[in-house]
Chain A
Amino acid sequence: MAKYLLLKHYRGAPAPVNDIPMDQWEPDEVEAHVRYMNDFAARLESSGEFIDAQALSPDGTWVSYDGEGRPPVTDGPFAETKDLIAGWMVIDVDSRERAIELAGELSAAPGAGGRPIHEWLEVRPFLTAPPTVTS
């Protein structure tokens, strides 16, 4: 078993095929999209592969230490960063192939016109616990 992060980007990923911003979809297309995402998570839970799903606000702030006794420096919102993470899903699956397969299904979520978005998702394996047998 291995855990994978399916990472969804606001920006930074290649443009999807069905590249129309969500605010310009028909209301029932938005509904269909949301339902697809919920169903997908529910299906993963019933297959025993679901760990977590979270969405992030696009408003982020860079924070950095600024020396003893001083408040941290902040910068942002980072309008100019090339990559912006929108959210993620964490799955626990038997193989990398299965992780890729599930990411492909998630990318098929319907968008404008009810057609799949073909959104690019980033699939990243988690670092695991070290194995017991090493020699």
Chain B
Amino acid sequence: MTSGDVELRELVPRVLSVLVRRGADFATAEDAVQEALIRAHAAWENAAPADPTGWLITVAWRAFVDMARSDAARRDREVRFDTEPPAGAVPNADDTLRLYFLCAHPDLTSSSAVALTLRAVGGLTTRQIAQAYLVPEPTMAQRISRAKRTVGRAGVHGLGDVRTVMRVLYLVFNEGYSGDVDLAAEAIRLTRQLAALVDEPEVHGLLALMLLHHARRHSRTGPDGRLVPLADQDRSQWDPALIAEGIAVAQAALARDQLGEYQAQAAIAALHADATRVQETDWVQIVEWYDELLRFADTPIVRLNRAVAVGEADGAPAGLAALAEVDEEVPRREAVAAHLHEKNGDLALAARLYADAARNAPNLAERDHQTRQAARLNQQLQTHR
């Protein structure tokens, strides 16, 4: 993807919302905007027009009228749209925001909402989205057109809200494979756009959380693709500009005193980012933030992560006591138990738990990582025997 492509896609939600406001149905309008994007790629190769948004609106509107006419001809109906767009239709922020809400409609499954958001708000092609999620293109095309039909039927009734939009963007950031689209960067771009539209501390909290995790992306995996845990990461590879921005955004949000789960998670990420060496990590404060986080999201996963932090702040026995209260069924529990038992000096038990963690790992990178941990401890146990 080129930077010009991103600049072009920045305009997508505004253009689409103008078409919808003029009475175009959402599904056809969305196809028309994609058509206009394809034409822009060809037409703007040498020089972009003076008013890119206006150009896109005009071309997308004509594409929409063509589509609506051929559809009407098929159904033997009249179409009442003018070829030239009505004058004075300027993009406005409320319409763009409404588009975000539409794509995060509560009637959609999360995978459909993710796909629709990436296409209608993000301006990605179906092929790019299909590649990012390792799904055949026809399947992704169907998923998107069904999602469009669903929101078309449901309409404005029960629109999504900022919460549902944030959950969708969080999913885009956190899950997915790769292709030629960096989903994490795309999630950040869309969250920035959202933060410019709605000035809520939680949206800024989400943005900060993403920035702070994205700052560590180059140190999270080794050259061979292996997983590098936080404690072992080369912190000189962390992106200082993203960290500075993430911390500033988080602090500004927290100062408004309307705490929520994303802000609490951002605060935890900021404390990790603040430590230039792992030994300098302020685990006591991190535990306090996990306690805050529990007020908003009392989930087994949060409790599990809290047990790790307690183990660092107050020692392994305290961590194990915290772990004892965590649901047995939560994924990665064995990995945390192994880590805490190793810290507590029970290497044999830790080795067995690492092996269990490897067997139950939800992905290959974690499985390999836990297998290495088990092998490392088993080797230590043999040489000390």
Residues of chain B within 8 A (CB-CB) of A131 are 174-175
Shortest A91–chain B CB gap in Å is 10
Interface pair A128/B139, CB less than 8 Å apart: no
Q: State the CA gap A50–B130 with chains docked (Å).
A: 12
A49 at the interface (CB under 8 A from B): yes
Answer whether A92 and B133 are a contact pair too, CB < 8 Å, given A1-B111, A46-B142, A129-B177.
yes
Interface pair B364/A127, CB less than 8 Å apart: yes
Interface pair A51/B139, CB less than 8 Å apart: yes
Contact of B268 among A48, A129, A135 (CB under 8 A): A135
With both beta carbons as reference points, the residue of chain B lying nearest to A125 in the complex is identified as: B362
Q: State the CA gap A111–B305 with chains docked (Å).
A: 50
Interface pair A127/B367, CB less than 8 Å apart: yes
A61 at the interface (CB under 8 A from B): no
With both beta carbons as reference points, the residue of chain B lying nearest to A48 in the complex is identified as: B143
Answer whether A48 and B146 are a contact pair too, CB < 8 Å, given A92-B111, A132-B174.
yes
Residues of chain A within 8 A (CB-CB) of B213 are 132-133
Interface pair A50/B136, CB less than 8 Å apart: yes
What number of A-B contacts does a CB cutoff of 8 Å give?
Answer: 79
Residues of chain A within 8 A (CB-CB) of B142 are 45-48
Residues of chain A within 8 A (CB-CB) of B367 are 127
A130 at the interface (CB under 8 A from B): yes
Interface pair B111/A130, CB less than 8 Å apart: no
Q: State the CA gap A130–B369 with chains docked (Å).
A: 11
Q: State the CA gap A131–B136 with chains docked (Å).
A: 22
Interface pair B174/A133, CB less than 8 Å apart: yes
B365 at the interface (CB under 8 A from A): yes
Contact of B109 among A45, A94, A132 (CB under 8 A): A94
Q: Which A residues from 47 to 93 make CB contacts under 8 A with B? A: 47-52, 92
Q: State the CA gap A129–B135 with chains docked (Å).
A: 14
Interface centre among A46, A47, A52, A130 (most CB of B within 10 A): A130
Q: Which B residues from 195 to 235 make CB contacts under 8 A with A? A: 209, 213-214, 217, 227, 230
> What 1/0 flags go to B153-177 for Cβ under 8 Å of A?
0000000000000000000011111
- Interface SS of chain B: helix, strand, loop or mixed? helix
Q: State the CA gap A52–B365 with chains docked (Å).
A: 24
Answer whether A46 and B146 are a contact pair too, CB < 8 Å, given A1-B111, A129-B363.
yes
B151 at the interface (CB under 8 A from A): no
A24 at the interface (CB under 8 A from B): no
Shortest A25–chain B CB gap in Å is 31
Q: Which B residues from 44 to 102 make CB contacts under 8 A with A? A: none
B269 at the interface (CB under 8 A from A): yes
With both beta carbons as reference points, the residue of chain A lying nearest to B229 in the complex is identified as: A134
Answer whether A135 and B139 are a contact pair too, CB < 8 Å, given A46-B146, A128-B362, A130-B363.
no
Chain B contacts to A: CB under 8 angstroms: 109-112, 114-115, 133-136, 138-140, 142-144, 146, 173-178, 184, 209, 213-214, 217, 227, 230, 265, 268-269, 272, 305, 308, 361-367
21 A-B residue pairs with CB within 8 Å: A1-B110, A1-B111, A45-B138, A45-B139, A45-B142, A47-B146, A48-B112, A48-B142, A48-B146, A49-B143, A50-B139, A52-B136, A127-B363, A127-B364, A129-B178, A130-B366, A132-B174, A132-B214, A132-B217, A133-B174, A134-B230
Closest 9 pairs (CB-CB, A-B): A48-B143, A1-B111, A48-B142, A94-B109, A130-B365, A128-B363, A127-B363, A127-B364, A130-B363
Given contacts A48-B144, A50-B139, A92-B111, 15 further A-B contacts (CB under 8 A): A45-B139, A47-B146, A48-B112, A48-B140, A48-B146, A50-B136, A51-B135, A92-B135, A94-B110, A127-B363, A128-B363, A130-B365, A133-B209, A133-B265, A135-B269
